[in-house]
Structure 1
Amino acid sequence: MNVIAVFAIGRPRVACAAIPLAVMLLACSLEVQAQALSGQSIESRLDTLMRVVDEQQRQIHALERQLTSLEMNQRGRGAPGYGAPGDASVAAQPGADGLPIPLQLAQVSPGAPAPGDATGTATGVPVTPSVPGGSDNGTIGQTQKASEPVRTQAEEAVVQREHAPLFDHKLTLDWGLSDTYYDRRQLQLSGFLALDAIFLGNLNLGQTKSHQVMADLDTRYGITERMSIDIDVPYLYRSSNFIVGGAGGAANTLSDATVNSHALGDVNFGVYYQFIKETSDIPDIVGSLRIKAPTGTSPFGIKVQQASDDNTNLVAPNKLPTGTGFWNITAGVSALKTYDPVVLFGSVSYTYNIGRSFADISSVVGQTQPATVKLGNIIQIGGGVALAFSDKDSASVSYTMAFEPQTKVKSPGGTNSGVPGSETTAAVLNFGLNHVVNKHLTINGAVSLGLTPDAPNFVVGVRFPYTF
């Protein structure tokens, strides 16, 4: 026992005695190195120092590469501190394949800082790392998901505008302003045919110029990561200028009248469901169901009257409609595929217009004509391409065509009869430009050009979707 105590007490003494010895050896070593350097010239010393610095820089770069690789591996597996919950006990739960149970990674737009970090990562690695081909690694585990392409902010703006709402966003307020312009000319005949060959009366060329300015607020809310609902409330201001010749009996004299109206438009609401999430091989497919209510001013029963007492040729309605007057249901499906930096999209929809009875559909003053009206059901198809030329800017071009068959009218006790000239085919060419201001606000501009007489001449609009 005494021997052990002596050794136990002696060890610290030996260690303490070794400290001065180590200091002396270190001092001797430094003295030897100093003497070696003192025997070299200044140029040799500089060369030696430069070699040492170069070697240290190579070691630093190698360590940075290893750190970057480690960070990407940790983020791909949802490690704490890289977009996943920081509870190590949750992250360590093994799945059936021996790997951690997959965690939902935070969806962060490229270039944006990681959650809880105002400056992002030190190495500039995105929070959601990407792999060649534009798709991320996804989560790893028993319920591993197919890899989804990582979209830039500009591409996400295209998705929200042309395809469907962004399901990972809870609430979006999308305010828009648009101007639709129509310019229509038609030949007006006032008289009768004599002997089935000679027209007796007045021939006038009528022209109608119309602006329809609409401001609407579309409120969207994501219920789940696959389902979203929205409601769109429009308010319309309409101004139409009616021009006709033959005033005072002179064929070369023109007269005109302007009618203005403003009121609430047709409110519509819908639901979107994402059937298939986009992968490297499969496009994103979303179905939608929308219902439109006849909250706007109906066009039926509006009387057309003489605009001026001294001009019987010029007639105009006493007000302008701001709605269709019908309930309708629209079912559609859209597809979108990202080939960074190109985005392809297309859609098809079918609108069923519900027939409705009106107490008066006549436009003649002093005349009442009740009837049941059934608008033709509309088939619409469209498609286009968008190009993201930066992380925040993109441009798109698309084509849309809608077919509407003839409108049917049924008088009380009568049978359905078609309205001549009510069958329409409207086709437009759309050009869009999107700019992402920040992670909340996007600016979308669009110009549409009518390609058929049934389409508007042009539509100019801008939208400001703000996501919370």
Structure 2
Amino acid sequence: MSIFNNKSCIALLALISGTVAAETEQATNSTEPKAKPKRVQTFGDLLDPDLPGVLTPKGSFVLDTSLSFTQNSSNTVSVVGYTVLPSLIVGLIEANDTDRTTLTFGVTGRYGITNRLEVEARIPWVYRYDSISRRSVNSGSDSAETRTFSSNDIGDIEAAFKYQINMETAPYWIAGLRFKTTTGTSPYDVPVDTQFGFEELPTGSGFPSIEPSVTMIMPMDPAVIYANLSYIWNIEDDVTSEIDGESISNKIDLGDTIGFSAGMGFAVNPKFSFSLGLSHKTILKSKVDGSTPSDAKLLQLDSISMGANYAINPETTLNVGVSAGLTADAPDFQLTVRVPYTLR
């Protein structure tokens, strides 16, 4: 992969570090006493008119640790042959059963530069385990051939800026810009065989991406309605992959992603809230060497999510969320546990 990706990550993180350091030094040199800023912990907090903003308050640092479990499975039947009659197929029939499990441990840091502007950086560690079972029905085999693959490594580091456009009246609008690096293992950096696919499992996408987004938050006591619109632009790059021991070089333009999500949160009491949401993503067709392959697909990913949020104390929050896929390409199940801790 191009060294542009890692240099971009280093430059962006350096910019973030410099901005945070400047704000920290300014706060340290100030002699005026400051009250502790209040941070949004539950959906109920969004109904508080005294909050300085929706994002992390100025001078506050949030350390957010998370653990995510994702399960995805698929069963496919491939036919290589032709149909003589509607019930008679001449050729090879192959049945595949694939189970994919992913564990992601992430550490995210968020700092409030002002009450309107927030900067964020995320470092993930990814563990993957795949089990692939294949059986050729017409070959006379009495059992399926099963192979397992596992891998763990750092994932793609991300950095983001968020800016709250309006502060006084609802709905509140937040603009975001996220940059994803290629620190994870690329799918094009691991060997591939034509029978089972990856011989080693990647932990990253292999391409840097830029994601602008806009979020709307509308408090309506006792509920909060939210919606998000985003676009992920994957930057085109030259890649070299190894298939059955043969190196192949191509210029890959990974399909961009259009995302939309919406939902509502309910404040049960000042410490506890829960949410319901729906997410949709459209992944556009990828291009190879400037042209779209004949087998390229437009993917539609839809999922429904539920979450619960509990404020343990003014500094610590426990957040548990689950989502279930509604379309074939979406993950079957995902469980995420997050524990944000505020340092003031």
Displacement after TM superposition at 1:368 (Å) = 1.9
**Matched residue type, 1:303:** P
Deviates most, 335-344 or 384-393: 335-344
Identify if the C-alpha distance between structure 1 residues 106 and 216 changes in structure 2 by more than 3 Å, giving closer, same or farther. closer
Question: What is the CA deviation profile of residues 209-238 of structure 1, one whole-angstrom value per residue up to 9, with x for unaligned ones?
Answer: 010000000101111111110100000000
Partner of 2:307 in structure 1?
432
Larger radius of gyration: 1
Offset, 1:434: 0.2
Residue in structure 2 matching 1:173, options 36, 41, 63: 63
1:287 pairs, out of 145, 150, 175, with 175
> Which residue is equivalent to 1:66?
none
**Within the alignment, does 1:388 sit opposite 2:270 as a pair?**
no
How many residues in Structure 1 have an aligned counterpart in Structure 2?
307
2:340 corresponds to 1:465: yes
- Structure with greater strand percent: 2
Q: Residue 188 of structure 2 contacts residue 240 of structure 2 at CA under 8 Å; is this kept in 1? A: no
- How far apart are residue 165 of structure 1 and its match? 3.5
Paired AA for residue 338 in structure 1: P
RMSD: 2.9
Contact 1:158/1:394 (<8 A) preserved: no
Partner of 1:417, secondary structure, is coil
Cα deviation for residue 405 of structure 1 reads 1.1
1:344 and 2:214 aligned: no
Letter matched to residue 243 of structure 1: S
Contact between 1:374 and 1:407, CA under 8 Å: does it hold in 2? yes
Q: Which runs of 5+ in 2 are unaligned?
A: 1-31
Deviations 1:138-176 (A, max 9, x none): xxxxxxxxxxxxx885533899xxx96423461000000
SS state at 2:45 partner? helix
Q: Deviation per CA, 1:43-96: give whole Å up to 9, x if none.
A: xxxxxxxxxxxxxxxxxxxxxxxxxxxxxxxxxxxxxxxxxx89xxxxxxxxxx
Structure 2 CA distance for aligned equivalents of residues 108 and 377 of structure 1: 37
Aligned-residue identity in percent = 26
**In 2, are the aligned partners of 1:427 and 1:451 still within 8 Å (CA)?**
yes
Q: Which residue of 2 aligns with 1:54?
A: none
* Match 1:333 to one of 205, 214, 217: 214
The alignment's TM-score, normalised by the length of structure 1, stands at: 0.61
Which range moves more in the overlay, 197-206 or 422-431? Answer: 197-206
The match for 2:154 is 264
**Alpha-carbon distance, 1:316 to partner:** 4.8
More helix by share: 1
Name the aligned partner's letter for residue 377 of structure 1: D
The residue number in structure 1 matching 2:12 is: none
Which is worse superposed, 400-409 or 314-323? 314-323
Alignment of 1:123-138 (within 5 A): none
8 A Cα contact 1:245 1:253, kept in partner: yes
Q: Which runs of 5+ in 1 are unaligned?
A: 1-84, 87-103, 110-150, 307-313
Contact 2:155 2:185 in 1 (8 A): yes
Paired amino acid for 2:333:
F
- Partners of 1:206 and 1:351 lie apart in 2 by 31
Q: How does 1:149-160 map to 2 (within 5 A)?
A: 154-156=43-45
Match of 2:25 in 1: none
Matched, 1:207 2:97: yes
1:44-443 pair list within 5 angstroms: 107=37, 154-156=43-45, 165-168=55-58, 170-189=60-79, 191-193=80-82, 200-246=90-136, 249-250=139-140, 252-279=142-169, 282-305=170-193, 315-360=196-241, 364-410=243-289, 415-418=290-293, 420-443=295-318
- Distance of 1:426 and 1:293 partners within structure 2: 23
How far is the alpha carbon of 1:292 from its aligned partner?
0.4
Instruction: Determine the C-alpha separation between the residues in 1 that align with 2:271 and 2:226.
Output: 19
Rounded to whole Å, the distance in 2 between the matches of 1:422 and 1:171 is 42
Aligned-pair distance for 1:105?
Answer: 7.4
The CA distance in 2 between the partners of 1:158 and 1:256, in whole Å, is 54
**CA offsets per residue over residues 422-443 of structure 1, 9 Å max, x none?**
3211011010000000000000
* TM-score for both structures, normalised by structure 2: 0.81
Amino acid at match of 1:455: A
